[in-house]
Amino acid sequence: MKTHFISETRKDFFEHWKSIHKDLVVPKYSVPAELKCFEQLVKQNHQGFFIANLIELRFEHVFELPLTKYVNHPPNKYITDGYEYTWQQMHRDYMDFNIQGYRRLLYNTFQRYDPQERLKIEVFWDFLYKVKENSSEYTRLLQHIKIIESDNSFNPIFTINLISDINFLKRKEDSTFAIKLPDKKVFFYKYSVQTKTVFDFGAISEREFAVLKLLARGLSSRQIADMLFISPNTVDTHRRNLLEMTNCVDTTALIVYCRLLGII
């Protein structure tokens, strides 16, 4: 497991970002009719989603009904205030990682792939978010980010971001960051709020993945051990490793979380 440190303090991110992209003009995103079906799906699953403009740091389309009876934000605030509104709702302990950490990890990952392959990379990360505007109460949200449109050089412009309330799945205040690669392997990182340290767990091993799939079938450690020709203690070690890298509260939460990531 590798360890990284988030040592820089937050600077004026917006001004810096605008200076980099000052000569780019991005057309307003045209919401396709297919998203109407997607809206019905996320509504049934008590989720929300938005279309983000990565160049101009604005939201083109927002569909966020109350994720639960506790999480309720007016969609128009996202449209009018853009990224500034979401950052005001995020717990301040996660801002350094949001501004610098996860973008750095994602950038390093992008550099290992051809431009067209980069568009297949998906990102998942969770953080504490206010249950409503100006509230002092927070819940934990999972954000699934997928690129849906790029420029002619295959640089991402628009992303679709699926939001789920996973407050019941996670333990501690730490944040989990996962990158799903074009070959579907998933690399896990954990951001420690206390130490501002990023722990690099790497990808789930083949053996851990085998154990995970059997856990999802409801098998016990003894049953899994017999099927994989390993000891029950080894199964439990793999289970603990999976819980550590995903920061989940128990095996049930681990299975639900991995299904949200599309691993199983």
Cβ-Cβ contacts under 8 Å for 41 (sequence gap 6 or more): none
pTM across the whole model: 0.84
pLDDT value at position 87? 86
79 vs 228 pLDDT, higher one: 228
Tokens representing 69 are: 């009876």
10 Å Cβ neighbour count for 150? 16
pLDDT value at position 250? 96
**Domain boundaries 2-203, CATH class:** alpha beta
Q: Mean pLDDT, the chain, as a whole number?
A: 84
| Measured distance CA(52)–CA(27) in Å, rounded | 13
pLDDT at 248 over 90: yes
Q: Where in the chain is the domain with CATH 1.10.10.10?
A: 204-264
| Measured distance CA(258)–CA(174) in Å, rounded | 17
10 Å Cβ neighbour count for 193? 18
Q: Where in the chain is the domain with CATH 3.30.450.20?
A: 2-203
Give the model confidence (pLDDT) of 227-236 as tens digits.
999 999 999 9
Residue 170's nearest CA partner among 264, 261, 243 is 243
Give me the architecture of the 204-264 domain, per CATH: Orthogonal Bundle (1.10)
